[in-house]
Amino acid sequence: MRVQKGFKPLRVQLYERLLRMISDGSLPVGSKLPSEPELASLLKVSRNVLRETLLLMEQDGIIVNQRGVGRTVLGVAQAPPSTDISRFVDTVDFLGARGGRVDCSVIAAYDQEAGSVARSRLALSEGERVLVLEIRAQLSGIPVAYMVDFVPVKVVTFALERVRRDAPHSAIRLLESVGIRAVRSEVEASAVHLGEADARNARVPSDTPALLLERVAYDASGRALVYSRHFLLPRAPKLRFVATWQNSP
């Protein structure tokens, strides 16, 4: 590979070359990359430079590295600039805040006895039931999130058939449609890899990395309305958290 000397590091030059190869179809979206030795030989670069470049591309969501499978091309990242999630009540609003069409599909809606985690987050007693919504979101045709919402059945007095008919894109919007409004939420974020079932629902390869947002939304009285497990996929917009400090007097 012929490289420029000076300003751009080799890994940056190689990154840009691989992006062009993805864009022009030389490395098609969904294809598996050759092994490191084969790719280094093909591109005429050292394996160290190649490894650094591929790691950057994994971090940017352009390729995914799966154990036992290898590296797969997801596509040229077109995620918008970072967005402050604290301004949004609904994850779907956040996903579409910087442009692009967000399409949501309710892939399952059912009620069940609340598990231990949902009971703890929603302050429920043993035996109480929750309405579960499983939702898949795409941004401009690209999978960006898989979302699971849990709502106490005692909060929702309408029939499950209505949920299936109206197909709301989130439990928050479902509650708003009947006059129940969330005013505050608490969010925990953790890095995970999708298991086989979650990946299948999200329509991405298993073991895809994701940012898991676990959130509990509350009404004005402090009642827990929704416990959410939202998996943001590599092509989702970047998050921005804003913190403000006040100096002590």
User: How many Å from the N-terminal Cα to the C-terminal Cα in the chain?
Assistant: 60
**Which pLDDT score, from 0 to 100, does residue 1 have?**
46
Of 164, 168, 161, 157, the closest CA to residue 91 belongs to 168
Sorted by where each begins, the domain ranges of the chain are 10-73, 83-240
Look at 236 and 78; give whichever has higher pLDDT. Answer: 236
Q: What is the pLDDT of residues 21-48, one digit of tens each?
A: 888 888 888 888 999 999 999 999 999 9
List the CATH code of the domain at 10-73.
1.10.10.10
Of 66, 74, 76, the closest CA to residue 15 belongs to 76
- The strand pair at 209-218 and 239-240 is best described as unpaired
Q: Which amino acid is it at 201?
A: N
| Cβ-contact 111, 132 below 8 angstroms | yes
User: Beta partners for 232?
Assistant: 145, 211
pTM of the model: 0.64
What DSSP element (H or E) covers 46?
none
* Domain with residues 83-240, CATH architecture: 3-Layer(aba) Sandwich (3.40)
Q: Which amino acid is it at 153?
A: V
Asked if the model's pLDDT at residue 93 lies above 80, the reply is no
**Which pLDDT score, from 0 to 100, does residue 176 have?**
82
Q: What is the pLDDT of residues 189-225, one digit of tens each?
A: 999 999 999 999 998 888 889 999 999 999 989 999 9
Over range 75-97, report the average pLDDT: 60
Q: What is the pLDDT of residues 109-129, one digit of tens each?
A: 888 999 999 999 999 999 999
**Which pLDDT score, from 0 to 100, does residue 210 have?**
92
User: Beta partners for 132?
Assistant: 110, 150
Measured distance CA(126)–CA(117) in Å, rounded: 11
User: What pLDDT band is residue 244 in, cutting at 50, 70 and 90?
Assistant: low
User: What pLDDT band is residue 248 in, cutting at 50, 70 and 90?
Assistant: very low
Q: What is the pLDDT of residues 49-61, one digit of tens each?
A: 999 899 888 877 7
Measured distance CA(74)–CA(219) in Å, rounded: 39
Handedness of CA 138, 143, 144, 149 (dihedral sign): positive
Across the chain, mean pLDDT equals: 81
Look at 245 and 126; give whichever has higher pLDDT. Answer: 126
